[in-house]
Each structure stands twice: as C-alpha cells, then as structure tokens.
Structure 1
Amino acid sequence: MPKIEATPYTGPLPPASPPAGTGLFQLPTGSYLTRAALAFRGGRWVEHRDFASTAVLVRHPDGDVLIDAGFGADAARHIRTLPAFRRSRHRLGDTARQQLDAAGYDRRRLLGVVLTHSHWDHVSGLDSLDVPVWLAPGERQYAGRATDDRVFSLVTRHHTIREYTFEGPAYLGFASSYDVHGDGSVVIVPAAGHTPGSVVVFVTLPAGQRFAFIGDLTWQLDGITRRAERPLLLRTLADSDAAAVRADLSRVIALADRVHLVPAHDARAYHGIPRLTAETAAAS
C-alpha cells in the first residue's frame, strides 16, 4: 500500500509574536462512531473509532475566535436531515455555547467562528452562537449547492458571513495566507480539496508552541503517522479533489516534528489542549 510521500520540513518557522494572554482551549461537543476501515487506508473493519466533534477557542487580547462550532443544541435534528448512510451512532455533549457560558466566558469577546469547512459536524453549533461566520472563498457557494448536507444553510440563516481572502505570503509550504491579527498568532491557509474552501488554521502561543488545525485533511492521526489517505470509496464520496487533499496532507505531514497537528475528528490530537474553566475564562 503506497504511503504519502513527505520530506520533513527543516526550514525556518514563520515569525510570530503572539501577545501575552493568547491561549488555546478545547470545547468537545460529542462524537460519533465509525469503522477504522472507513477512516484511513489500512484501517481494520472490526476496529471502531470515535470521531470527535470539537470546537477550539483561540483567546487573543484583540478578540477571540472559535475554530469550528462542533455539535449544536439541535444536532439531533441536523443528523436526521442527512442521508441514512451518514447517520452514524452519535454521542451528544454540551454545546460550545453551553461550555462558554458555564465557564462564565464573555461571548462579546468572540470575533466569529472560523470554519475549516462547511460540513454539518463542523457547523451544527452555529445554531446557538450569534457571531459572524468566517469562510474562505468558494465555501459559501459550495455549501449552498450541497444536496446531501443542508445543515450550513439551516444554521446560518441569520448569521453575518465574513469572507476573507488570502493576500498574505506563502506559509509553511502553502501558497498564501491570511493573518487574523497581523502578529502570526492565528494564520489561515487555503487547503481546498476536501471542499473548495477548506482551510488549515495555524496557531502560535506565547511560549512558542505551534498548532495546526487541519480540518478533514485526514480524519484520524493515522493519516499522519501511517501517511495514509482515505480509502478510495471515501475519497470519492467525501472529497471534492482527492489529489489536492493528498498534496496538502503531504505538506502537513512534513511539519509533524515541528507543529502539533490536530485532525478535527481525532480526540487524541486534542490531548494537551486544556478545557475552558471559570478560572481560565476569568484570566482572559
């Protein structure tokens, strides 16, 4: 079985000067069960994997963002709108809004939700978050045309949509970038392939730790450690451009020794990212 080719990145890391107070928190909202054989090439049919649905709060003195929204208050109804073959067994937890409110977080700090892409399990939580939705070029049109996943259209009817463009320089192998705060703390790069407007979000913390939230370039860490793409059937069903996904997956695999890679649906990848608490929310 051919592995994805990737030469480890040895060049300089891009400059970043995240201010004191920049922080990162995970807001897990639930999971759903999938067979490993459907998650990555070489996975076993008898092995099951929990697919996480987690929002990530990036705190910054100039305003915070969420990366994806996780499951929402109406997630059960959202699931019923999907084709039967996509209705995996789910476990629903507290929504991102419920977790923010429980910690006493001031939601007025939120500049918006940066979507890695518009599939239902990344946007469902927008049903209870009244904040702008940040989309890369092409993703709004893609979501509007979708016939088997209309959740984005359901949950964003009353949201402000902010479409940004990639006018910044090349970034860690990606051709262009968008620097949210202008200080290198949150940098978004285009990774069209899973969907036409998919992105990767890089986050750098004051102590120097670097993270890459890679959305659905791979669903599980095995895509990184085994250099394995999705099985052929799932590449055909799930990806707009499987070759582009493969190329971008190669780019992030090359960074694995330098950057903490976080596939959206692998709970193991969130280890080390703290949960939001009343104490940490107050510190913001």
Structure 2
Amino acid sequence: MSPLAKPAGWTEPLPEARPPADMAIYHLPTGTYETRAALAFRGGSFRDKRHFAASAVLVRHPDGDLLIDAGFGADVAAHVAMLPRFMRAPYRVGRTAGEQLDAAGYDRSRLLGVLLTHSHWDHASGLDSLWGTRVWLNADERRYAAEDSDGKVFRHVSPGHEIHEYGFDSRSYLGFPSSHDAYGDGSVVVVLAGGHTAGSVIVFVTVPSGERYAFIGDLTWQIDGIRRRVERPRLLSKLADSDPDQLRQDLLRMIALDGLMRIVPAHDLSSYDGIPRLTPEAAARLR
C-alpha cells in the first residue's frame, strides 16, 4: 500500500500563544473498544488488535474550562445497541467523564462546555453523565448531528444540553483557512476539518510549558495515519467519511506538522501517554 506523497514540513513560525500560567490539561479515559488495524488504516494487519480509546480531555483555563469530547456514557450499552450491527465491537467501560470529575471533587460550575470534535456516538455518549453542560458545536456539525443517521446517539443524549454554536473567522491557522480562538489568547484554537463529518474540527492546545497538542478527532483513527501517511481503508472511508478528498487534504496538513507538536487522534490510546489524569489534588488546584 503506497503512502500519500510526503508534504513539505511546516517551516513558518508557529502561531503566537499566551496560555495563562495556571492552564493545564488532563486525560479522562472512559473505556476502549476493539478494532483490527486492518480496519483502521490502509496496510494494517488483521492480526494487530487495537484498543480504540474513548476519552475526554479537560482543559483547565482561568476563564472557564472545556472538555474536548465526552467519551463513553453511563448508558453506553444502549448507545451501542443503536448502532448498525456492523459497527458494534467488543468494548470495555471505565468511569464516565462525569464520574471522574465528581470523584476528584471538581467543581462542575467551572465548565464552559463540551467541545465535540464531532458528534459521533463514541465522542458524544458521555453527555448523559454531564447533565446540563453546554455543548459546543459549529453550524455545520450541528446540522450534521441533527440530520445524519450517525447522529442518532447524539440526538438521544443531547436533550437538556444547551447548544453553544460557535463560528470561525477568516484568520488562517497552521494552513487551515479559518479558525476560532476559544479564549482569545491563542491557547485553544479550533479549526474546521470537515472531511470525516461536515463539521469535524481539530483543537490545537498550547500549555504554559510551550508544549503544543493537536486533538484531531477522527481525522485518522490511529497515529499510524500520520506516521505512515495512510488513509482509512477505502470501504471504511466510504462508510465513515463525508468528504474523503477534504479529509485527505487535512490529513496532509497535519502530517506536515508532525514533530512540531503532539498529535492526538481521538482513538489512539498511546497518544494520550504523558497527559496527566485528574486527581483530587489536581482538582483542588483548580478551585
């Protein structure tokens, strides 16, 4: 399987970011499900069993916190049952994002909302344990979630959640033509990458140490898509992606950034290594 042509690496200065000194991020793992590598990226092996992550990431910011995605919810079994049979896979559940916040003594009034990279079930299921929390969606993804068959679980768990619809301005960001600066300080910047779903996004986060992260949702399901420069298998792309050509263009943009930041595909478990968990001690520092 031939890889995509290697794009030129990013050579311009990275965008300015001024993350507050007390900004931090935390990994909230909520479970995993099994998929063969052959079904995750072109050239993968059927013998290679991958444990796909279902996680949320808490972004602590003095102007209010955000969760990137929601992971598995309390009623995940019912959510899986809503899927077409060919999409169901063996899964293991842990504590929901809501349960982890509560166990750490986190003050939920700090949450500005759940910023979904997109509205598919394994990113939105956990909204059922985050009662009343706003959901951040752009107009394209809001429409997709309301109309597409793959938005069924989202439509089931979203009642009771206010939708905060954010937009993009014309300022380009790392090769993406439009962006949304969540806090106005460059620490969390959202770009439209509407290939997987109509309103899929990538969330770029810069922490006080200067380390940068790119939470790329399902642009690729495993980091192999970046490192090997490969797309999803054709049949899976046909079933899963709204615009494969757009997805390829955005994948190449991210490949050009590899090495300049930590790239975190939502379902690549190892890509979260090094992001701390939320502990009571950490939550105490957020008060």
Q: Same fold (TM over 0.5)?
A: yes
Distance in 2 between residues matched to 1:250 and 1:136, nearest whole Å: 23
Report the alpha carbon displacement of residue 141 of structure 1 after superposing the two structures with TM: 1.4
Report the alpha carbon displacement of residue 265 of structure 1 after superposing the two structures with TM: 0.1
Report the alpha carbon displacement of residue 79 of structure 1 after superposing the two structures with TM: 0.5
Distance in 1 between residues matched to 2:91 and 2:16, nearest whole Å: 41
**Partner of 1:73 in structure 2?**
74
Aligned with residue 179 of structure 1, among 178, 181, 198: 181
**Partner of 1:263 in structure 2?**
265
Aligned residue type for 2:2: P
Aligned residue type for 1:13: L
Distance in 2 between residues matched to 1:87 and 1:235, nearest whole Å: 17
Aligned residue type for 2:214: A
Distance in 1 between residues matched to 2:188 and 2:170, nearest whole Å: 12
Q: What secondary structure, in the 3-state scheme, does the structure 1 residue paired with 2:41 have?
A: coil
Is the 2:144–2:151 Cα contact (8 Å) retained in structure 1?
Answer: no
Is the 1:8–1:257 Cα contact (8 Å) retained in structure 2?
Answer: no
Aligned residue type for 1:198: S
**Partner of 2:145 in structure 1?**
143
Query: What is the TM-score normalised by the length of structure 1?
Result: 0.98
Report the alpha carbon displacement of residue 168 of structure 1 after superposing the two structures with TM: 4.9
**Partner of 2:4 in structure 1?**
4
Q: Is 1:241 aligned to residue 270 of structure 2?
A: no
Distance in 1 between residues matched to 2:129 and 2:55, nearest whole Å: 15
Distance in 2 between residues matched to 1:216 and 1:43, nearest whole Å: 17
Is the 1:168–1:179 Cα contact (8 Å) retained in structure 2?
Answer: no
Q: What secondary structure, in the 3-state scheme, does the structure 2 residue paired with 1:182 have?
A: coil
**Partner of 2:168 in structure 1?**
166
**Partner of 1:198 in structure 2?**
200
Distance in 1 between residues matched to 2:62 and 2:170, nearest whole Å: 22
**Structure 1 residues without counterparts, runs of 5 or longer:** none
RMSD: 0.9
Query: What is the TM-score normalised by the length of structure 2?
Result: 0.97
Distance in 2 between residues matched to 1:201 and 1:154, nearest whole Å: 25
**Partner of 2:14 in structure 1?**
13
Q: Deviations over 1:100-145 (max 9, x none)?
A: 1111110100000000000000000001112100002211111122
Is the 1:81–1:149 Cα contact (8 Å) retained in structure 2?
Answer: no
Q: What secondary structure, in the 3-state scheme, does the structure 2 residue paired with 1:138 have?
A: helix
Distance in 2 between residues matched to 1:62 and 1:281, nearest whole Å: 16
* 4+ long deviations beyond 6 Å: none
Report the alpha carbon displacement of residue 149 of structure 1 after superposing the two structures with TM: 4.4
Q: Deviations over 1:150-202 (max 9, x none)?
A: 10000011110111110151000100110010000100000001000000000
Distance in 1 between residues matched to 2:38 and 2:104, nearest whole Å: 38
Aligned with residue 232 of structure 1, among 234, 237, 259: 234
Most deviating of 61-70 and 166-175: 166-175
Q: What secondary structure, in the 3-state scheme, does the structure 2 residue paired with 1:276 have?
A: coil
**Partner of 2:282 in structure 1?**
280
Aligned residue type for 1:93: G
Distance in 1 between residues matched to 2:102 and 2:150, nearest whole Å: 32
**Partner of 2:212 in structure 1?**
210
**Partner of 2:252 in structure 1?**
250
**Partner of 1:152 in structure 2?**
154
Distance in 2 between residues matched to 1:103 and 1:16, nearest whole Å: 29
How many residues of Structure 1 are paired with residues of Structure 2 in the alignment? 284
Is the 1:168–1:178 Cα contact (8 Å) retained in structure 2?
Answer: no
Q: For 1:64-143, what aligned pairs fall within 5 Å after superposition?
A: 64-129=65-130, 130-143=132-145
Most deviating of 137-146 and 224-233: 137-146
Distance in 1 between residues matched to 2:241 and 2:276, nearest whole Å: 31
Distance in 1 between residues matched to 2:136 and 2:4, nearest whole Å: 31
Is the 1:115–1:123 Cα contact (8 Å) retained in structure 2?
Answer: yes
Report the alpha carbon displacement of residue 148 of structure 1 after superposing the two structures with TM: 4.6
**Structure 2 residues without counterparts, runs of 5 or longer:** none
Aligned residue type for 2:82: T
Q: What secondary structure, in the 3-state scheme, does the structure 1 residue paired with 2:270 have?
A: helix
Q: What secondary structure, in the 3-state scheme, does the structure 1 residue paired with 2:257 have?
A: coil
Aligned residue type for 1:236: K
